[in-house]
Amino acid sequence: MTVLDHRNQPAEADTVPGWRPGATAPRTDPAPLLPDAEPHRVLGTPAADAADPELLRELYRRLVAGRRYNQQATTLTKQGRLAVYPASTGQEGCQVAAALALRPQDWLFPSYRDTLAVVARGVDPLQALTLLRGDAHTGYDPRATRTAPLCTPLATQVPHAVGLAHAARLAGDDTVALALLGDGGTSEGDFHEGLNFAAVLHAPVVFLVQNNGYAISVPLTRQSAAPTLAHKAVGYGMPGRLVDGNDALAVHQVLTEAVERARSGGGPTLVEALTYRIEAHTNADDATRYRQAEEVEAWQQHDPVRLLEDALRGRGLLDEQLVAGAAEQAEQLAARMRAEFHADPEPDPMSLFAHVYAEPTQQLREQADRLAAELAAEAEVQGR
């Protein structure tokens, strides 16, 4: 028997005869796949009292540092030190909680806004920014932390996550892949193809859509007519879950559940996290052209850091030591970013030819020689 000889177990058999392809096979009941009517919330509810205090503290420290990271990186773009930065301010809870739901053997497939998730996987915070600084396409070794390169085209990383999860399952490994994407990405063909493959292959993969309301300037109502993005799961034959993306504990719970379900052979899950991008799409965008200040202010009242602070305070866990320690860590990170990015990077020009093919072609060797000669001539002129 092969790994792929599996069948999703339908909730009940279809006893109604009638014409349809495969009419003898039982029809799958969509009801168990449907997302809840309201997004899953934990913070501010009695359920939060059961949460592990150390997990809450860890989420808090990482959210505070992540908020500062976003601020500092945005400042660096204004100083011309980063080429561009798509801030995840307001979405820190999604990213940190999602990454913390993974185990070391799992793989993360981030999109360009997911630097905080990448950092939470253990990638050096500055190496996570080299793409956006402009000195390397990927500044980290993806294998070291099992974190794929930040993906710029929308949703194209989704089938990658499926393929990796599929291969891991064939190998008999208990590895799960988590793909992150935004609401805009759900309109892309690769999102559809990836989810369809995942369900058909029964791959151990989880998809987290961070629905922050806008694909650059286009609001969700112009992006999708689905009841929720989580409902899309049903059409592929996988469960859809809806979660408050600013409730870091809820995201962590839903993701942990989905990841462990995938790990134990339960197949893929689509999770939609409702959140909001407080800043513009990137520093190059003017968000005042397409959304109202009142809307931003309303979401600022539902801030992921404040929600977590309130919960910690409610349980007497927000002591002076935690607050000061988290703030200190965040400031140290910001200081390191300022120091590191103050100097202009000096990437080696000859690295242009280093990794195009396993063996460079004759043409590339000639072009490398030409560049080396140009650099030598330049050095000679400067040396005079």
Provide the annotated active-site residues.
277, 281, 290
Smallest gap from Cβ 171 to other proteins, in A, equals 7
Burial of 7 (0-12, 13-18, 19+ CB in 10 A): exposed
Using CB under 8 A, count the residues that bind other proteins: 49
Among 85, 197, 207, 276, binds other proteins (CB under 8 A): 197
To the nearest 10°, the Cα dihedral for 28, 251, 259, 212?
70
Residue whose CB is less far from other proteins, 79 or 105: 105
Among 145, 156, 186, 275, binds other proteins (CB under 8 A): 156
Question: How many CB atoms neighbour CB 374 within 10 A?
Answer: 11
d(CA 193, CA 186): 11
Smallest gap from Cβ 83 to other proteins, in A, equals 15
x-marked contacts with other proteins along 362-381 as a string, rule CB under 8 A: xx------------------
Q: Does 105 bind other proteins (CB under 8 A)?
A: no
HEC letters along 285-349: CCHHHCCCHHHHHHHHCCCHHHHHHHHHHHCCCCCHHHHHHHHHHHHHHHHHHHHHHHCCCCCCH
Residue whose CB is less far from other proteins, 91 or 269: 269
Smallest gap from Cβ 262 to other proteins, in A, equals 14
Among 13, 284, 339, 354, binds other proteins (CB under 8 A): 354
d(CA 276, CA 299): 7
Q: Which amino acid is at 121?
A: R
Residue whose CB is less far from other proteins, 194 or 304: 194
* Stretch binding other proteins (CB under 8 A), from 67-75, 162-170, 258-266, 285-293: 162-170
Q: Does 136 bind other proteins (CB under 8 A)?
A: yes
Task: Decide if 183 contacts 150 (C-beta within 8 A).
Answer: no
Q: Which amino acid is at 249?
A: L
d(CA 337, CA 81): 10
Residue whose CB is less far from other proteins, 162 or 258: 162
* Stretch binding other proteins (CB under 8 A), from 16-24, 136-144, 329-337, 371-379: 136-144
d(CA 302, CA 311): 13
Q: Does 122 bind other proteins (CB under 8 A)?
A: no
DSSP 139-182: -S-HHHHTBPPPB-STTTHHHHHHHHHHHHHHTT----EEEEEE
Among 162, 255, 274, 305, binds other proteins (CB under 8 A): 162
Among 51, 177, 242, 258, binds other proteins (CB under 8 A): 177
Q: Using alpha carbons, select from 206, 281, 270, 284 the residue that is nearest to residue 242.
A: 270
Residues 6 or more apart whose CB falls under 8 angstroms from that of 73 comprise 82, 85, 87, 115, 129, 132, 337
Q: Does 167 bind other proteins (CB under 8 A)?
A: yes
d(CA 360, CA 354): 8
Smallest gap from Cβ 58 to other proteins, in A, equals 29
Q: Does 202 bind other proteins (CB under 8 A)?
A: no
Residue whose CB is less far from other proteins, 143 or 384: 143
Q: Using alpha carbons, select from 326, 309, 327 the residue that is nearest to residue 318.
A: 309
Among 127, 138, 256, 329, binds other proteins (CB under 8 A): 138
d(CA 77, CA 380): 34
Q: Does 142 bind other proteins (CB under 8 A)?
A: yes
Q: Does 83 bind other proteins (CB under 8 A)?
A: no
The footprint of other proteins (CB under 8 A) covers 2-5, 107, 136-138, 141-143, 148-149, 153, 156, 158-168, 170-171, 175, 177, 189-190, 192-194, 196-197, 200-201, 351, 354-359, 361-363
